[in-house]
Structure 1
Amino acid sequence: MERKPLKGLHHVSAITANAKKNYHFYTKILGLRLVKKSVNQDDTSVYHLFYADERGNPGTDLTFFEIPYAGRTSYGTNSISTTSLRVSNDEALQYWKNRLKEFDIDHDEINGDSGRKTLAFRDFEGQRLMLVSDENNVGVAGGKPWSKSPVPQKYGIIGLGPILLTVMNAENTIKILTAVMNFRNKDSYTTTINGRECDVYVLETGEGGSGAEVHVIEDAEKPRERPGRGSVHHVAFRVENREELEKWIEHLSELKIPNSGFVERYYFRSLYFREPNGILYELATDDPGFETDEDFEHLGENLALPPYFEDQREEIEAKLEPLDTRR
């Protein structure tokens, strides 16, 4: 059964131990919009927060599961080691360098190793993030920053950029991306990590560009990462709709790749599986989107629950620490 190529990055889901501080950082400092305040559908006692462009367009979502007692991450290999966030141009990076300095956010210098200018930084829990300039980028279009953001729209974050994977065996990861997921080998570059040079392999899907890239580094010297607060749980890639998702489920099953099968997430439909180095991938549909149960003007202001959890609302709300996201 013929499948359409994956369209690019859909979302990245990470772990925080403090929803209130997380909300403040990603909305008040990074200027993203909270487009959905919900719960982890696999553990409804904790929040699942979705930050994105003005309406949560696919490819713009950075989400967080709150795990209040999550320990510190022991960084290492076989991990999603950096999440990139796109900005419109090189000028925006200079704005962000000044803004990060103003808020005393740990950050590096502007770098150009990948062929695009980038600015790496860390959030209050050590989450590894990188701003990437779209100055010369072509391919998957970015989103539109929210007009009510504290960051001027011309400098605002417009979506997810390349996702960096650090793995023990790059060949195995690249084989899954190309032979199974139909990514294309694009190019490679060299960067310096902890004082030594590393090769980075660039793969792309769909229309290509920074919104559709995975960058892979091989590092067999580090121990395996032990995740905690400040780590990434999984990365999701875009499929158009449920029909296409069903084709991918059939494809993985034919290849005898263990997978979750169809999973209903209400705001999108999903499929999960792990690649050979243990990194969790999700395929997620572009539809229905975040305006299914809230109107555009009030996205993220109240606790949103999919219909199949609505009869548990009182019990769920009783377990959650109050989080005021009204604007």
Structure 2
Amino acid sequence: MQLLGLHHVSILTGKAERNYEFYTKVLGMRLIKKTVNQDNTQSYHLFYGDAKGSPGTEVTFFDIPSLGRTHPGVSSISSTSLRVKSTESLHFWKKRLADYGIESEAITQRANRDTFAFQDFEGTRLILVADNGENGVAAGEPWPVPDISTDHAIIGLGPVTLTVSDSSPTVRILTEVMGFRKVSTYPSLAGEFPDILVYTTGEGGPGAEIHIETRPDLPKERLGRGGVHHVAFRIPNENEYEYWFKKIRGTRLPNSGKVDRYYFKALYFREPNGILFELSTDTPGFDVDEPIDTLGEKLALPPFLEPKRSEIEAKLRPLDIS
């Protein structure tokens, strides 16, 4: 059984309102779920994705207003990519970001794809990557917004970069446990460091890749706002979830055991460099409790939290997003 690709990436924010403005108004992504952190219901959890909330398109944020900044380093998920259709789209986005006063790097190649990097207002490291008709895991469905053509819209997650001091332990888990395969390397853009390693799963392509950067010169990351909490990988259904639960349990990696998030089943574990991985099912999906047309418009709670709605809403800070 194979993991299908990337499911979502979860990041920390200290300012949910500005976060919403950036990811919906600037980047044109859809807010597909406004809910709470199920492990701390006094904190919001916002999910952004494509028009249908498809697995493999989602960037999520935990809102923690008092959080300090991230201090970058190793044992980290150091960048998250977002897919667009073409190199022409990259030129559109460079101009759009510049119009918003957001600096970006030059268009350059990573793993033989045209890309460019930039940061959001909290220092989250983002990379736009052009599909240019490449085969592999299918992209999502563009979310139409007035000032962004669907030809240029963000259509899913692209490669996620892990930065580690020693790649060997992480590679071992990716290949021997998770079934990833090495497909290429490309030169480090940070200077005289080892080539970045490219591993893929499932049908491959930008929606199924992990890139591993080796940086023995860096300290360990101190995670804060703008930092990535974890990366999740796609399991197609609950039957295969059982298989992966037994497989991870058999490795003796520190793990969460089975976790029911209602919108998907989850399993969390830390690979040897300390990076948090999650395996998540595609089913049942984010439309299990809301119609597709009105995703993200109301505070959604899973059934096991619904009886506590009044208590939860009373403890949540007001969130002014529209």
2:302 is equivalent to residue 316 of structure 1: no
Displacement of 1:257 in angstroms is 2.2
How do residues 186-205 of structure 1 correspond to structure 2 at under 5 angstroms? 186-193=183-190, 195-205=191-201
Match of 1:165 in 2: 162
Q: Per-residue CA shift, 1:202-239, capped at 9, x if unaligned?
A: 00000000000000011111000000001000000000
2:28 is equivalent to residue 31 of structure 1: yes
Once residues 323 and 148 of structure 1 are traced to their aligned partners in structure 2, the CA distance between those partners, rounded to angstroms, is 22
| Gap regions ≥5 residues in structure 2 | none
Letter in 2 for 1:203: Y
- Segment of structure 1 superposing worse, 124-133 or 149-158: 149-158
Once residues 246 and 152 of structure 2 are traced to their aligned partners in structure 1, the CA distance between those partners, rounded to angstroms, is 42
8 Å CA contact 2:84, 2:154 repeated in 1: yes
Match of 1:69 in 2: 66
2:94 is equivalent to residue 108 of structure 1: no
| Gap regions ≥5 residues in structure 1 | none
Displacement of 1:116 in angstroms is 0.3
Letter in 1 for 2:240: E
Displacement of 1:323 in angstroms is 2.3
Match of 2:179 in 1: 182
Displacement of 1:270 in angstroms is 0.4
Once residues 51 and 79 of structure 1 are traced to their aligned partners in structure 2, the CA distance between those partners, rounded to angstroms, is 22
Distance 1:113 1:8, change over 3 A: closer
8 Å CA contact 2:75, 2:220 repeated in 1: yes
Once residues 106 and 276 of structure 1 are traced to their aligned partners in structure 2, the CA distance between those partners, rounded to angstroms, is 35
Displacement of 1:325 in angstroms is 4.1
Match of 1:217 among 196, 208, 213: 213
Letter in 2 for 1:88: K
Once residues 134 and 310 of structure 2 are traced to their aligned partners in structure 1, the CA distance between those partners, rounded to angstroms, is 47
**Secondary structure at 1:292's aligned position in 2?**
coil
Once residues 50 and 192 of structure 2 are traced to their aligned partners in structure 1, the CA distance between those partners, rounded to angstroms, is 36
Displacement of 1:319 in angstroms is 1.9
Cα RMSD of the aligned pairs, angstroms, is 1.1
Q: Per-residue CA shift, 1:143-167, capped at 9, x if unaligned?
A: 0111246421110000000000000
Match of 2:248 in 1: 252
**Secondary structure at 2:218's aligned position in 1?**
coil
8 Å CA contact 2:17, 2:321 repeated in 1: no
Once residues 64 and 103 of structure 2 are traced to their aligned partners in structure 1, the CA distance between those partners, rounded to angstroms, is 23
Once residues 147 and 28 of structure 2 are traced to their aligned partners in structure 1, the CA distance between those partners, rounded to angstroms, is 6
Q: Per-residue CA shift, 1:66-100, capped at 9, x if unaligned?
A: 01111011111110000000000000000000001
Displacement of 1:258 in angstroms is 2.5
2:297 is equivalent to residue 301 of structure 1: yes
Match of 2:271 in 1: 275
8 Å CA contact 2:11, 2:227 repeated in 1: yes
Once residues 146 and 129 of structure 2 are traced to their aligned partners in structure 1, the CA distance between those partners, rounded to angstroms, is 19
Q: TM-score, with normalisation over the residues of structure 2?
A: 0.98
**Secondary structure at 1:208's aligned position in 2?**
coil
Q: Per-residue CA shift, 1:114-159, capped at 9, x if unaligned?
A: 2100010000000000000001421001001112464211100000
2:257 is equivalent to residue 266 of structure 1: no
Match of 1:229 in 2: 225
**Secondary structure at 1:94's aligned position in 2?**
helix
8 Å CA contact 1:113, 1:191 repeated in 2: no
Displacement of 1:296 in angstroms is 1.2
**Secondary structure at 1:70's aligned position in 2?**
coil
8 Å CA contact 1:188, 1:200 repeated in 2: yes
Q: Per-residue CA shift, 1:34-88, capped at 9, x if unaligned?
A: 0000000000001000000001100000000001111011111110000000000
Match of 1:10 in 2: 7
8 Å CA contact 2:37, 2:43 repeated in 1: yes
